[in-house]
Amino acid sequence: MATSKSPFDINILVEHLRDAASQADARAQIKSILSETVTDPSWVAASIPVYEDDDVVLFEDDTVSIWHCRFKVGQNVPAHDHQMVATIAVYQGAEQNSMWVHNKQGSIEKKTEISVEPGNVLQFGPTAIHSVGCQSDVDSCAIHVYLGKLTTVERSLFDTQNNEVMPFDDENYDRLVSIQAQID
């Protein structure tokens, strides 16, 4: 059956998210926009550009960071924080988000796991800690929106095996990914 729906346009989505980020109810508006966008995930998947890189900054200023994120099959990202509200809208594959909390011993422990499948949106607050993995037989692709300038904020990575907290930088990230790969 033919549809009269126009192709998905990432630039229009970015404009809408930028506008929403400047509103008093930015968190709710961004979740609503992303929820409506991925209601038909195949529409997004059929029209979105194919990005060479796994993480692509589509737009960033002091109020909002809009990223396209791809997690490859079997890929796992170490536990980390964002220090700002994050909203994830999956349109392909599935993200498995493990949510972590600080415990009385001063380390973190896994609280819950949330599968974010095509058409789903996950939103969490600025103190949330999560790790992410692709839990599907195809790469997981999503739009990630952060209420702030993600590339300049001081964030943390968490070595869950050694109960260690460290600055989020490329060296620490690569080290934790390597450790995780040895465990898997």
> Model confidence over 54-111: pLDDT tens digits?
999 999 999 999 999 999 999 999 999 999 999 999 999 999 999 999 888 888 999 9
Q: Which one has a higher pLDDT value, 177 or 35?
A: 35
**Domain interval for residue 134:** 10-152
119 within domain boundaries: yes
Mean pLDDT for the stretch of residues 119-130? 97
**Is residue 9 scored above 50 in pLDDT?**
yes
Q: Give the range among 55-69, 120-134, 169-183 with minimum mean pLDDT.
A: 169-183
Q: How confident is the model at residue 2 (pLDDT cuts 50, 70, 90)?
A: very low
120 within domain boundaries: yes
Q: Which one has a higher pLDDT value, 119 or 184?
A: 119
**Is residue 33 scored above 70 in pLDDT?**
yes
110 within domain boundaries: yes
Mean pLDDT for the stretch of residues 164-170? 94
Percentage of residues of the chain with pLDDT beyond 90? 86
User: What CA–CA distance (Å, rounded) separates 17 from 83?
Assistant: 19
Q: For position 184, what pLDDT does the model report?
A: 60
Q: For position 120, what pLDDT does the model report?
A: 98
Q: How confident is the model at residue 161 (pLDDT cuts 50, 70, 90)?
A: confident
160 within domain boundaries: no
28 within domain boundaries: yes
User: What CA–CA distance (Å, rounded) separates 69 from 48?
Assistant: 12
113 within domain boundaries: yes
Dihedral sign for Cα atoms in the order 100, 101, 106, 109: negative
Q: For position 1, what pLDDT does the model report?
A: 41
- Rounded to two decimals, the pTM is 0.93
Residues 6 or more apart in contact with residue 68 via CB below 8 angstroms: 10, 48, 51, 55, 56, 58, 141, 142, 143, 144
Mean pLDDT of the chain, nearest integer: 94
Cβ atoms 128, 86 nearer than 8 A: yes
Number of domains in the chain: 1
2 within domain boundaries: no
99 within domain boundaries: yes
Name which of 122, 103, 123 is nearest 165 in CA terms. Answer: 103
Residue 145's domain is classified under what CATH number? Answer: 2.60.120.10
Q: For position 4, what pLDDT does the model report?
A: 53
Q: Which one has a higher pLDDT value, 103 or 4?
A: 103
